[in-house]
Amino acid sequence: ATPAARLVRTAAPAAETRDAVRRFLTDGTVASEVLEDEEAWLFRGTVFVDYIALEVEVRVFEAGDGSLVAISHTSARDAVRFASLVEKARATLRSRGLKVEQGAPAPTSVLMEFDDDLIDDMEESWAARIEAVLAGAADAGSREETWQTLALWGEQHVECRSDLARALIAGGPGASAAAAALRGPAPIAELYPMVAAMRFASLDLDGAADPALARLLTATEHLPKLVARQLREVRRQLLTLA
């Protein structure tokens, strides 16, 4: 298999392996928006690792007494995170009772470690850091990275959430950018990390949400299911604060 395609071998029948792959991709183990072609035993769509969108295809084949799972990285944008996704799939199938052939360990993400070191060395307040990153939301070329950064900060640094809430939900500089993305709608590669950042921010919101943004939280029919689920969590959290 090439770096953009990995094979996972199991000793289970193909139908059992396909069911396990389906659960892995759709039960919340990974953040994903995928479609299934039942006749082709194929899953195709977007899976997020560290809030970065990976376009993938996953196909299950019969292979002797067992089966073979071919996982292709169709966007070929991040080999490190794709390798991490494959190893997570392998570990999840094994944890669910399938006998899975051992694979090579996934490489460590140097980028994520570097980002944490940078945060430790920064002297600016969280409000200033968030404001600086949010400036990237105005540029189409940097929006994905903007929302990815804020989602990771919201997940990993509880102390930033109140400032994130003020900037992103309570009418700060990010509220209008978020509203525009939801109305668009923006691509899922931007939307999912954005709403994930909003979900973390909503856990520490002191005050009311921006009215225009709050209205958009109920209009989810045009959004990907993954994004709509996250927005429901944001709305539910805001209702507990009302």
| Residue 109 confidence (pLDDT) above 90 | no
Confidence at residue 114, expressed as pLDDT on a 0 to 100 scale: 40
Confidence at residue 213, expressed as pLDDT on a 0 to 100 scale: 87
Q: Mean of the pLDDT values across residues 220-224?
A: 92
How is residue 174 written in tokens? 């990010």
The three-point CA angle 81-87-92 to 5° equals 125
Q: How does DSSP classify residue 172? A: S
Confidence at residue 153, expressed as pLDDT on a 0 to 100 scale: 97
Nearest to 200 by CA among 130, 100, 137: 130
Q: Please, are residues 45 and 33 in contact by the beta-carbon 8 Å criterion?
A: yes
Contacts of 167 (CB under 8 A, 6+ apart): 127, 130, 131, 134, 173, 174, 175, 201
Share of the chain above pLDDT 70, in %: 90
Nearest to 14 by CA among 41, 34, 47: 41
Contacts of 139 (CB under 8 A, 6+ apart): none
Express each pLDDT in 71-107 by its tens digit: 999 998 899 999 999 999 999 999 999 999 876 555 5
Average pLDDT of the residues of the chain: 89
Q: Mean of the pLDDT values across residues 44-60?
A: 97
Q: Mean of the pLDDT values across residues 179-203?
A: 95
Work out the burial of residue 235: count CB atoms within 10 Å of its CB; fewer than 13 is exposed, 13-18 middle, 19 or more buried.
middle
Express each pLDDT in 29-41 by its tens digit: 999 999 999 999 9
What's the pLDDT band for 3 if we cut at 50, 70, 90?
low
